[in-house]
Amino acid sequence: MSYQVGVFVGSLSKVSINRRLAAALMRMSGDGLELREVPIGNLPLYNHDYDADYPPEGVRFKAAVASVDALIFVTPEYNRSVPGALKNAIDWGSRPWGQNSFALKPSAVIGTSPGKIGTAVAQQHLRSILSFVNSPELAQPEAYIQFTDGLITEDGEVTDPDTAEFLAKWLRLYEEFVCKVISVNPKPAT
């Protein structure tokens, strides 16, 4: 069985190193995972006033989240937290009250940064948010990737064998996790 996985890239930059990491994950995913980006850049700032009548961008976003089996969040770290665009997307997907698109969808968090601790603080903050929106999370292994020049090419090729091996293992463990979560929380029949 192949699981459809929505990938959220927290950086809106076209030259983002986290976008490169997302490309690497998409390139490396095996037959059991079909990864595709769920764009977040066109969402307006979430406001409770939209709950009565979601704008087309919000409707498309919620439909994209609903269409996947699982989620991967690839986040940079901005001021020791997640980027505002990523938090905004989570707010859109979890609203209006009672229509949380993230509920019971297995998720994983990963990120890269030039710093030695990668995106550790942002990831912990994101894990707290995902817990609140009831998205079961892959706890181990944690994936804080220190980005060095040339580590991942623009088209997602990982040039360091140790990093490639780690990411491949991370994806295998994520696939096992997705399978387990979905087996106890199957999609409702439509």
The pTM assigned to this predicted structure is 0.95
Return d(Cα 146, Cα 168) in angstroms, integer: 16
DSSP at 122: H
Residue 118 confidence class, pLDDT cut points 50, 70, 90: confident
φ/ψ (deg, to 5) at 56: -55, -35
Asked whether residue 122 carries a pLDDT value surpassing 50, the answer given is yes
Asked whether residue 167 carries a pLDDT value surpassing 80, the answer given is yes
Residue 30 confidence class, pLDDT cut points 50, 70, 90: confident
Return d(Cα 110, Cα 170) in angstroms, integer: 10
